Amino acid sequence: MALTKIYGVLGQPIEHSLSPAMQNAAFGSLGLEARYCAFNVGRPRLREAILGAEALGFGGLNLTIPLKEEALQAVRPDPTAKAMGAVNTIAFGDEIRGYNTDGIGAQMALEEAKVQIKDSCVLIIGAGGAAKAIAYQLAQAGAEVTIVNRNADRACDLAGWVGGHGCGLHELDRLVPEADLVINATSVGMKEGDPSLVDGRLLKSSQSVFDVIYNRKTELLRDADRAGAKTVDGVMMLVYQGARAIEIWTGLKAPAKVMEGAVRKELEMR
């Protein structure tokens, strides 16, 4: 009888993670003898947790808040993870390798929705980890990127890194109508009653709007629907970054539709 291969996601807090439901659905669809679990691990014990997982024969790991930057000290990052300064996927082999699939997850979600990236004007709200991954990936894919953030200096630093433009939130009303793609890469919208950072009256039917929030339909996406704009929610970014992780671990093509179904079903139950 084959041993069950264990995979996991590490983070703190971790109870809210949708990754176990999503990845276990994928493993089942692929017919793999594998199980994916969530583990509560903080920064001080991260290196020990990674080495312990390797010693126990884990198939691979995902990392979430607040571990992605810390992991750079415990793995050999690939060029993308090194450039982003963050790791969200770990693979075990001759050495412990680190990857970042967040940016490609966002790009694949947009491409699946048939949103043009190359030569488009992309406006990203936020300058945190998600914004950094998305900005880097879309700039590499040929987009003209503008970063807007409450802290204008952070926006300018991130924009300078990807060859784009940065400014404070006071420029938002001017920039929104000029953008082909508007992206909310902040946590605003996660809770019922959160305001939209964008005046919905500025949105147009010719635009695309992407929100990284995946636990609910945000006010930004509702406004975009009313404007007739194309909308993409955070579920698909979650799915595609997870799909890429499975492909890194197993070499098999991940069943993205099965994974999306598992996430949306889990969200309905919460």
Active site residues: 68
Taking the C-alpha atoms of residue 197 and residue 60, their distance in angstroms, rounded to an integer, is 37
In this structure, the number of other CB atoms found within 10 A of the CB of residue 30 comes to 15
In this structure, the number of other CB atoms found within 10 A of the CB of residue 79 comes to 9
Helix (H) or strand (E) holding 52: helix 46-55
DSSP 37: E
**What percent of the residues of the chain are helix, what percent strand, and what percent coil, each to the nearest 5?**
45, 20, 35
The position carrying tokens 């300064």 is: 85
CA pseudo-torsion sign 135, 138, 142, 147: negative
Return the CA Rg of the chain. Answer: 19
| Start-to-end CA span in the chain (Å) | 36
Q: Dihedrals φ, ψ of 185, to 5°?
A: -110, 25
